[in-house]
Structure 1
Amino acid sequence: MKTLHDLHRPLGALGINVSPLGLGTVKLGRDQGVKYPNGFTIPDDVEAQMLLKLARDLGINLIDTAPAYGRSEERLGPLLRGQRKDWVIVSKVGEEFEAGQSRHDFSAAHTRLSVERSLQRLETDFIDLVLVHSDGNDLNVLNNCGVYQTLAALKREGKIRGFGFSGKTVEGGLLALQDGDCAMVTYNLNEQGEKPVLDYAAAHGKGVLVKKALASGHVCLSPGVDPVRASFELLFDHPGVTGAIVGTINPLHLAHNVATAAAVIRRQP
């Protein structure tokens, strides 16, 4: 069975090694207001536990969550009990999801409150990486709100090991990487506009995690072409890409994604 155990790579300069695929957990906590081609049912605890065990067995150590993912964080706390050393946890600040609606708050006070709440929910003393969940006004968020300075302070306090930015613009990604440790960018077969952020990260030793690597399941290619393989070939050909977050709750999809990524990274047919 192809796994990712021996393919972990550094997450920027943080001294943390992560698997080239991470497990996104929006589907563990939220089924409203999400853009997927097919509906889904949120897995129960037994199904979620099996999915997490499979991910670990396949060599995935990176897990991505957020307050905006509904109950994701508060479910992961109990689900990951006794396994903290096995996982690199990424969470976010800046976006809340309540009663089916998103709202944003990038103030210093809310940033600190959000991280403290995530620590409690995840039942951990520290979070490996906290990213700002941008509303799209990337430069305004970075320049005029207290969020980045507060995350830097939380890093000095040891409550988070690294921080960065999940934005929507090239300018935001580039500015975020100057002071931060990692950017999360959209990069897939349909959208490659944020490639300059990957180039900057590669040149400056920063981390990049790719969101929507499979275009949230919307990639269309000519017949006979495996969209997952084509997507991963694009991603892992770029030296700036640390890893990609894939949000599947289907064990077969997860195993296929891992086998495909392992083959692509090892340059195997």
Structure 2
Amino acid sequence: MKKRKLGRTGIEVSEMAFGTVALGLPYGLGIEHESQLLPEDKAVQLLQTALGRGIDFFDTARQYGKSEALLGRAFRQRRQEVVIATKCAHLRNKDHTLPAEKELAAAIERSLAESLEALQTGYVDILMLHDGDEEIIRHVGIRKIFEAYKKEGVIRATGVSTYTPQETKAVMDSGGWDVVQVPFNLMDQRQAALFDALDQRGMGIVVRSVLLKGLLSERGQQLHPALKKVEQHIASYAPLSKASGLGLPQLATKFVLAFPQVSAVLVGIDRMEYLQEALDTVAGKVLEPEFFEQARNGAFKDPGFLNLHEWSVQGWLK
């Protein structure tokens, strides 16, 4: 497993990061009940196997059910061998307003304390804002709270998980953040326009949604009629997949890894076979330049439509 620098944080991580959301709560296409989750003992075994095979970067969050606790069980005796990124609990009130500064500080302190307890550790490598919108990202008070924990050594680096390029640009422009986690894949390539600028500022770039919640795999077939254009576009990758000798998930992952600015590709893993597939993907050769260029030219024409949350609300992902 190759290592990459996480911006200028001084942290090196495996280029494949293990996403744990599907270990902690029902997540992904066709997963609706906790009974479908991997049993806890097997989840711990899966995490430990991943570390043994070279993946040392693990992503979790307060909102990911029991995933922090599973990481705590898996790595309490091997803490120095892993890099753990977790995300603060959501900060907005139920009416979507932000609390006053004292309440914000208390909420962040409580979230971090709960994460440390669940993870069974005295520090977090990267503490991130979860789905940070522009107001939260630019909030000087919030940034200072994160920076204070960094100075204390309770966290090693600060970061933000974003959705839109506008939010990512806000992270870059506001300063003070070390890492940004962005959605980016074959179909939605909008964030790539910011990769060079983020890299020049020394920010670590972690990419999620590489497989578009599983759609860039065999699951991207026989979709809801409202997603016909999406299904057709996914099918259009078949010639490139065949020419490159890569299955669609492998093509999608190698495409993102071909960007030198990217520190790590975050892949959700909740089965041993998915771990093996991820390892096989990064172990092979890099994507050849001609296939990379074809993939860059193969983005979906209306990336704003690729809103999986909205699709789920509409009932299109069942």
TM-score, normalization by structure 2? 0.73
Residue matched to 1:86: 81
Equivalent pairs counted in the alignment come to 253
Residue matched to 2:31: 39
Moved more, 38-47 or 176-185: 38-47
Residue matched to 1:230: 251
Shift of 1:254: 1.3
Moved more, 227-236 or 140-149: 140-149
Check whether the contact 2:38–2:271 (CA below 8 A) recurs between aligned residues. Answer: no
In structure 1, C-alpha distance between the alignment counterparts of 2:53 and 2:278, rounded to whole Å: 10
Letter in 2 for 1:43: L
Residue matched to 2:316: none
Letter in 1 for 2:249: V
Segments of 5+ residues of structure 1 without an aligned counterpart are: none
In structure 2, C-alpha distance between the alignment counterparts of 1:169 and 1:80, rounded to whole Å: 33
Q: 2:186 aligns with which of 182, 186, 189?
A: 189
Residue matched to 2:210: 213
**1:249 and 2:246 aligned:** no
More helix by share: 2
Shift of 1:264: 4.0
In structure 2, C-alpha distance between the alignment counterparts of 1:183 and 1:197, rounded to whole Å: 11
Moved more, 222-231 or 120-129: 222-231
Shift of 1:175: 2.8
Residue matched to 2:20: 25
Letter in 1 for 2:31: G
Residue matched to 2:171: 176
SS where residue 138 of structure 2 aligns?
helix
Check whether the contact 2:56–2:82 (CA below 8 A) recurs between aligned residues. Answer: yes
Shift of 1:78: 2.0
Identity of paired residues, percent? 28
SS where residue 190 of structure 2 aligns?
coil
CA displacement, residues 148-188 of structure 1 (integer Å, 9 cap, x when unaligned) = 22111110110000011101122321232332111000000
**1:121 and 2:113 aligned:** no
Shift of 1:65: 0.6
Displaced runs of 4 or more, over 6 A:
103-106
Shift of 1:266: 8.5
Q: 2:51 aligns with which of 45, 49, 56?
A: 56
TM-score, normalization by structure 1? 0.86
Letter in 2 for 1:199: D
In structure 2, C-alpha distance between the alignment counterparts of 1:51 and 1:88, rounded to whole Å: 16
Distance 1:21 1:104, change over 3 A: farther
Shift of 1:123: 0.8
**1:10 and 2:5 aligned:** yes
Shift of 1:109: 2.1
Letter in 2 for 1:160: I
Residue matched to 1:160: 155
Shift of 1:145: 6.7
Letter in 1 for 2:214: G
User: Rg bigger for which structure?
Assistant: 2
SS where residue 89 of structure 1 aligns?
strand
CA displacement, residues 47-88 of structure 1 (integer Å, 9 cap, x when unaligned) = 112211221122100001100101211232122220101210
Residue matched to 1:142: 137
Check whether the contact 2:147–2:158 (CA below 8 A) recurs between aligned residues. Answer: yes
Provide the alpha-carbon RMSD of the alignment. Answer: 2.3
In structure 2, C-alpha distance between the alignment counterparts of 1:145 and 1:42, rounded to whole Å: 39
Check whether the contact 2:181–2:208 (CA below 8 A) recurs between aligned residues. Answer: yes
Letter in 1 for 2:49: L
Segments of 5+ residues of structure 2 without an aligned counterpart are: 217-233, 242-246, 292-318
